[in-house]
Amino acid sequence: MSTAWLRTILTAAACAAVVTFAMPSSAEMVQMKADLKGSNEVPPNDSKGGGSVELTYDTASKKLSWQGTYTDLSGPATAAHFHSGEPGKNGGVAVPIFTGDKAQSPFSGSATLTDEQAVALMEGKFYVNIHTAAHKAGEIRGQVTK
């Protein structure tokens, strides 16, 4: 009787383990956006430019995908980046979006984030910055928000 009972328990435990490992992960696709304007720059500027970026973040793979547009800059865009930084503060480049001859609107791309970048993104500490010759530090900026 105890051997049969032990077999039943072991079989149930094995089945539970198989079901647990076969279940899909709890990945989430997080939708985000950034509204780009000169008044968001630090310090703010009077650029007539504007734009927006729509983002999708896959929490399982840490893949960040984006598509965006911009208009009415003071001149051609020279580069765009995701920066790590809180609202109202400048931060370093985290992920390049485009540079030089790839600077055009609309734009799109994707990147796999590091663990540190993923945490910053989910905490609202990522922003998009589009640079021009007249505004080398950035002409239009937008904080990435959920």
Neighbours of 115 (CB within 10 A): 8
Model confidence pLDDT, tens digit, residues 13-61: 554 544 444 444 578 999 999 999 999 999 999 999 999 999 999 999 9
The CATH fold of domain 26-143: Immunoglobulin-like (2.60.40)
Give the model's pLDDT for residue 20.
46
**54-91 burial string, b = 16+ CB within 10 Å, else e?**
ebebbeeeeebebebebeebbeebbbbbbbbbeeeebb
Tokens representing 89 are 């503060």
Return phi, psi of residue 44, to 5°.
-65, 155
Give the model's pLDDT for residue 109.
97
Residue 56's DSSP bridge partners are: 31, 65
Average pLDDT over residues 66-81: 97
DSSP string, 27-89: --EEEEEEEEEGGGSSS------EEEEEEEEETTTTEEEEEEEEE--SS-EEEEEEEE--TTS
